[in-house]
Amino acid sequence: MKLSEIAEILEFTPENLQEVDIQWLLTDSRSLSFPNESLFFAFKSKWNDGHDYIRELYQKNLRYFVVSEMRDYFEKEMEDAVFLLVADPLAALQKLAKAHRAKFSIPIVGITGSNGKTIVKEWLYYLLHADYRIIRSPKSYNSQIGVPLSVWSLNDNTQLGIFEAGISKTGEMEKLQPIVRPTIGIFTNLLEAHQEGFSGLKQKADEKLKLFKDAEVLIYNSDDKLLEISIIQANLQAKLFDWGSKADAQLRVLHVHKNNSTTIDLEFENRKFKIEIPFSDNASIENALQCVCLMLYLKIPLESITERLKNLEPVAMRLEVKEGNDGCLIINDTYNSDLNSLGIALDFQNRQAAMKKLDKTLILSDILETGMAEEALYERVAALVEQKGVDRLIGIGDAISRSADKFKLDRKTFYKDTSDFLRSKEIELFSGEIILLKGSRRFYFENILSRLELQVHETTLDVDLNAFIHNFNYFRTLLRPETKTMCMVKAFAYGSGSVEIARTLQNNRCDYLSVAVADEGAELRREGIWLPIVVMNPEKGAFDTIFEHKLEPEIYSFQLLKSFIKATQRWALTDFPIHIKIDSGMHRLGFNPDEIPELIEMLKNQNQVKIRSVFSHLAGADSQKFDDFTRKQIEVFSKAADEISDAFSHKIMRHILNSAGVERFSESQMDMVRLGIGLYSVSFLENVVLEPVCTLKTIILQIRDVEAGDTVGYGRKGKIHRKSRIGIIPIGYADGFDRKLGNGIGEVWVNGHKAKVVGNVCMDLTMIDLTDVPANEGDSVEIFGKNITIEAMAEKLKTIPYEILTSVSKRVKRVYFVD
């Protein structure tokens, strides 16, 4: 779209406007790819201001900006830049996307619901891309920002658009509806997920249904009574295309038979037929049936529908970070490949590489079904690769190989297909690199991944960094804009991996990190973490490490303070930052309030150290029965902090609230708060549902039939009372699966069912009862996560979630996922 047209849509007409074509809308300054064709929207949030990044973007040759304020230096330093001044850049982005959408008279599929939106979208792309040239939302771009960015991708070659729309509170869908304006609607399901912004399920259904105000047809599951009632009451103009078990459902489900795969008997327009999908969980069955309805509505031949469904694959909805051989790190994004998602993945690779100081390698397949001419497409790809600073390129496919000369890299090789690459010597020649695998599905890049990744334990701890960021932002909504955050990354970041968690917090503008011991902080510094880091237990033998890596110690006693001052003198340091701990009633570590005058006198008589903050710990902020004691602690601490602050001329931060304190005593947030277990989905309020961050999972190694009267495991503790199917899973107490969960106390999640532990938990193995569970060898098993929560496991073990998370052994591989 021409810049002049954009200015007209936004009702702003600057003088001497250049006639340039804007191809890219930019909302994250780190994602700049094509500065001459990009327009930056400077959003303001509680924690950040896009206007702060305009000078940096200008230095990178970007010249076009949508802003809500004009700073003095904009026109003085950037005379050739164009600033479109609007009241609200987000509203401007949405208005622009709405105008762009209005140019297209093609089928547009809008998908909303509680779960399954991204999977349905990706499956529809796979099932329909042979029939249509499709534009779809990248990843899970379904927010107030993600939806307009997705819709902007529509172009003259597009024959079908598929877009997700997600909301978290009332009033949001009215803004998204005119941007998507779907002609075809899919409501995946109505569940309790993301319920915080709604008074109940009915209100959430009513809000989500606003997406389909102008739709021609709405696909939904009529077995969900509340959803069907909500649809009827919404009085939509759309034709209703329902599926379910009712006799009058348009697509009637007659029978579902689960085994290795699932066979579903269906009836449509008096014709009975079967479909088979390679999944047996209920969520996948529902998602597949949504897809079947759309394909029937689009009149795809039944033979094509049944054949394509057999080949559905799991959707990798997140960028997956894995440890590779010989010091490599692998970013796995092998499900699809297009220009938008390539740019997103390269930005992520850049952020990872900057921290780890690794060379960047891109393994890229042909990019299919874009509708662009091949030459123009690979000119774009080559420009993107150059702009993102890729060090080494491996191109796989005929089309990218034909465009080899467009890539101006010293290190580049090309292969006709994946098999050709796997037979080459180059597959063995990776060392100390961060490798991005970015391939269209038909190139089977999973075979490359299996060769490159480090082969270790089948048991993994999956860490959802998007959920972690969501939880972090939830707590920030409870804070004043000026309140800082200190996040705990001690104890291997509660078992989830301190480096990746610290990097995520740094990228999301956390203010401080906290570790237990100096060695933890030193490791973070070696991995490129530059945020201030507080050491909670600064042992005397670790002072040199603290100085060398610029860590900041907690000081809790006179003896420790004297020793630390003496150490700073040896290093000839002055004003080294320290954090003073006050014992306000927990009686663990800290200066007593009556020791404050002596502490002040000692600190005033030296210049080696300087107080950065004064803080204390709450003993029972998570429990209502201790509320009076908590208030007393806050009062005691505030008095002590005032006494210290009044004695010095510089600003001294104060902080006492932990995760529970932020939720229950936010009026006492002071200058900073400390977040720990809350970041990992533990809330201390009844109506708040945070997103699970960590999923401990394994696989079924073997299934064996055991006769009634036999026993299973050590000590013959697992007594079998009926003929049973017993599964063996490769996790035991050495991995962090507590031995007390044996003999029917613990349970795991397999294919939508709970399976109890049989017999004793062994060091490396555990047995589970699969008699009533459809399962096969190799199937995934959730130990804890969305279905078996850490709180539920902690309750069974009569412990706390902290212990569950921190007990996961380091021999369990951590796998990180991010959009």
Q: Which long-range contacts (CB under 8 A, 24 or more apart) does 775-778 make?
A: 775/700, 775/703, 775/725, 775/727, 775/750, 775/751, 776/260, 776/700, 776/703, 777/700, 777/701, 777/702, 777/703, 778/699, 778/700
Catalytic one of 490, 581, 697, 813: 490
Nearest to 39 by CA among 12, 70, 9, 62: 62
β-bridge pairing 329-333 and 433-438: parallel
CB proximity list for 453: less than 8 A, separation 6 or greater: 322, 323, 324, 325, 330
DSSP, collapsed to helix, strand or coil, labels residue 75 as: helix
Tens digits of residue pLDDT in 171-210: 999 999 999 999 999 999 998 766 777 888 999 999 999 9
In the annotation, is 714 catalytic? yes
- Per-residue pLDDT, 286: 96
- Per-residue pLDDT, 132: 95
What single-letter amino acid sits at 242? D
What φ, ψ does residue 319 adopt, rounded to 5°? -70, 130
Tens digits of residue pLDDT in 612-671: 999 999 999 999 999 999 999 999 999 999 999 999 999 999 999 999 999 999 999 999
Task: Report how far apart the first and last C-alpha atoms of the chain are (Å, whole number).
Answer: 27
Nearest to 220 by CA among 318, 629, 208: 208
Which DSSP string do the residues of 543-595 spell out, in sequence order? HHHHHHTT-EEEE-SHHHHHHHHHHHHHTT--SEEEEEEB-SSS-SSSB-GGG
CATH of 104-309, one of 3.30.70.20, 3.40.1190.10, 1.10.580.10, 3.30.420.480: 3.40.1190.10
Tens digits of residue pLDDT in 520-546: 999 999 888 999 999 999 999 999 999
Strands across the sheet with 512-515, in order?
653-655, 609-615, 576-581, 552-555, 533-535, 512-515, 484-488, 672-675
**Residue 184 β-bridge partners:** 109, 217
Question: Which of 245-259, 354-368, 385-399 has the least mean pLDDT?
Answer: 354-368
75 close to 50: Cβ distance less than 8 angstroms: no
- Per-residue pLDDT, 14: 66
Segment holding 120, helix H or strand E: helix 117-128
DSSP, collapsed to helix, strand or coil, labels residue 13 as: coil
DSSP, collapsed to helix, strand or coil, labels residue 431 as: coil
Top-level class of domain 319-455: alpha beta
CB proximity list for 7: less than 8 A, separation 6 or greater: 13, 14, 17, 84
- Per-residue pLDDT, 155: 93
- Whether residue 15 is predicted with pLDDT greater than 70 in this model: the reply is no
Quick one: fold of 694-818? Lyase, Ornithine Decarboxylase; Chain A, domain 1 (2.40.37)
283 close to 787: Cβ distance less than 8 angstroms: no
CATH of segment(s) 462-680: 3.20.20.10
The better pLDDT of the pair 688, 602 is held by: 602
Q: Alpha-carbon distance 344 to 349, whole Å?
A: 9
CB proximity list for 223: less than 8 A, separation 6 or greater: 244, 245, 246
Segment holding 243, helix H or strand E: strand 239-244
pLDDT-derived band at 317, boundaries 50, 70, 90: low
- Six-digit token string for 424: 């080459």
Catalytic one of 408, 714, 723, 810: 714
| Average pLDDT of the residues of the chain | 93
Quick one: fold of 3-93? 3.40.1390
Q: Alpha-carbon distance 274 to 306, whole Å?
A: 8
Domain limits, the chain: 3-93, 104-309, 319-455, 462-680, 694-818
Nearest to 538 by CA among 488, 594, 580: 580
In the annotation, is 680 catalytic? no
513 close to 534: Cβ distance less than 8 angstroms: yes
- Per-residue pLDDT, 261: 85
Tens digits of residue pLDDT in 454-511: 866 689 999 999 999 999 999 999 999 999 999 999 877 787 888 889 999 998 889 9
DSSP, collapsed to helix, strand or coil, labels residue 114 as: coil
DSSP, collapsed to helix, strand or coil, labels residue 514 as: strand
- Per-residue pLDDT, 189: 94
Q: Alpha-carbon distance 469 to 318, whole Å?
A: 14
